[in-house]
Amino acid sequence: MPHTKRPIRERLSLVVQAPRIQHGVRLVRKTMLPPQRHSRLKRMGATAAALVGLGVAAYFGTGSIGWAVLLLVVGVPVLVLPVLLLIGMVLEARENPEPD
């Protein structure tokens, strides 16, 4: 039977002896990983910041707000979303490998 990795939450729970609480947030281990809901907010914030950065770069690159908006509206779905989907598929396959 091949060795399969356990999901990250299961591996973290083996490391943790007792959860610690800081500022009312339950921490998962010494690296101070908060629960999932807080990391989702961080991801959304990072995504918004990245889109703003792309918009500013597109504006300064084209010199026109219209072209910058067009690049964002067309470029983000066409170029960025397939990459994000691919990364999500790879991460999902790592967590849930198919049995041989």
pLDDT of residue 18: 52
Which residues, including other chains, have CB under 8 Å from residue 66's CB and lie 6 or more apart? none
Number of Cβ atoms within 10 Å of the Cβ of 65: 11
Q: What is the pLDDT along the chain (100 residues), one digit of tens a residue?
A: 455 666 665 555 544 445 555 555 555 555 555 555 556 778 888 888 888 888 898 899 888 889 888 888 888 888 888 888 898 888 888 887 777 6
Is residue 2 one of the residues assigned to a domain? no
Is residue 99 one of the residues assigned to a domain? no
pLDDT of residue 34: 52
Is residue 53 one of the residues assigned to a domain? yes
pLDDT of residue 93: 83
How many domains does the chain contain in total? 1
Question: pTM to 2 decimals?
Answer: 0.42
Q: How far apart are the first and last CA of the chain?
A: 9
pLDDT of residue 1: 46
Is residue 100 one of the residues assigned to a domain? no
CA distances from 89 to 14, 64, 96 (A): 26, 36, 10
Is residue 1 one of the residues assigned to a domain? no
